[in-house]
Amino acid sequence: MSGAQAGLAFSVFLASAVEVVEAFTIVLAVGSSRHWSSALAGVGAALAVLAAIVGVAGPALVDVPIGLLRLCVGGLLLIFGLQWLRKAILRAAGAKALHDELAIFAEEREAAALAPAASGFDSYGFAISFKAVLLEGLEVAFIVVTFGANRGEVPLAAGAAALAVALVVLAGLAARAPLARVPENAMKFAVGVLLTTFGVFWSAEGAGASWPGGEAALAPLLLLILAASTAMVWDLRQRRAKGTPVSA
Amino acid sequence: MIGRAALAACSFVAGEDWHVAVAVTASLALTALAAATGLPAWALPPVLVLAILYRSVRAGNRPAFSRAPLDDAPPHAGGS
């Protein structure tokens, strides 16, 4: 496995793990407070939709000319990655609430308890589980398809995502509780840096630029984006400590 | 139906700050232009992207001084 392949697999694994932790919390809250069968049916239906998206979009994108693919898909990945990184920087600087699985679990349980009870099939439990898995899973599917198609490595990307899903679900089943000890916010920061790095690299190539050293440029690019992001966190913390309003 | 799907897809990718999507598109156009004229275009995207990120982060920090810190956005993509 080359360095770029390892980077791809690691990025997809990390992003998928974060999303699965979030979906797991909601399904656990709904399933434990309502009906497990309906909640799991919602999970199954969402996974079927996601598998169809990856199954159709992945192979179709592989047939697109690589330059056009890198420009369009790399650009989309860059926009997507910048949104992750923006939120992660704001969270790290204290400008945005940290993601708290225990709080989300409590909120979901409370909402589930207030919803009308169901005697047979629980449409509430199904709908909440379906929505949670589909929405979180769409991010995973997007990353799997974009990473996989850009490198012609859809099976590797899908395998990394599947491994993340399996590990998180196994850990969740063993704990039988929200996975609050997973360092989600730090993982999201790392994912934001990785998605932005690959997005810059591929979209620039798609636009016609040639990186000095080819794929070896990924490492310094990653370090640059990491250093700049860390500096932005530090800058925001300083401003917030001084109470200095920012002017964008 | 198709319009709503397209809107949802745009919202999914662009997320909370649509300026990022517009600025990234413009920066890629600029990179393509530089590459077509034979300039070392690879140097542009990192600089432009970091400038876009800096502006977006500062814009996202502004509400913190006028109201309580933002809660988590509803679960949609464009970054978790």
Give the whole-angstrom CA distance, residue A6 versus residue B11. Answer: 30
* Cβ atoms A225, B50 nearer than 8 A: yes
Domain that holds residue B25: 16-66
- What was the pLDDT predicted at A55? 80
Residue B4 lies in a domain: no
Give the residue among A218, A50, A222, A23 at the shortest CA–CA distance from A142.
A50
The mean pLDDT of B52-77, rounded to a whole number, is 63
Residue A46 lies in a domain: yes
Terminal-residue alpha carbon distance, chain B: 26
Residue A99 lies in a domain: yes
Number of H helices, E strands in chain B: 4, 0
Q: Is A96 helix (H, G, I), strand (E, B) or coil?
A: strand
Among candidates B41, B65, B80 on the partner chain, residue whose Cβ is nearest the Cβ of A84 = B80
- What was the pLDDT predicted at B46? 95
Residue A247 lies in a domain: no
Residue B53 lies in a domain: yes
Tally of CB atoms within 10 A around A191: 28
Chain B neighbors of A87, CB-CB under 8 A: 16, 60, 79-80
- The number of folded domains in chain A is 1
**pTM score:** 0.77
- What was the pLDDT predicted at B53? 94
- What was the pLDDT predicted at A197? 93
Length of chain B, in residues:
80
Domain that holds residue A132: 3-242
Q: Please name the residues between 2 and 61 in chain B that touch chain A, using a CB distance below 8 Å.
A: 12-17, 20-21, 24-25, 28-29, 31-32, 34-36, 40-42, 44-46, 49-50, 52-61
Residue B74 clears pLDDT 50, i.e. is over it: no
Please state, rounded to an integer, the average pLDDT across all residues of chain B: 77
Q: A155: burial class by Cβ within 10 Å (0-12, 13-18, 19+)?
A: exposed
- The number of folded domains in chain B is 1
Pairs of residues, one from chain A and one from chain B, whose beta carbons lie less than 8 Å apart:
168
Residue A167 lies in a domain: yes
Over chain A (248 residues), the average pLDDT of each successive run of 10 is 80 88 88 85 91 79 77 87 91 81 80 74 87 88 81 84 90 78 81 91 90 89 95 89 61
Could you read off the pLDDT of A125-161 as tens digits, one per residue? 889 999 999 988 888 888 888 888 777 788 888 899 9
Residue A248 lies in a domain: no
Place of tokens 């790399």: A74
Angle, alpha carbons B9-B15-A46 (nearest 5°) = 50
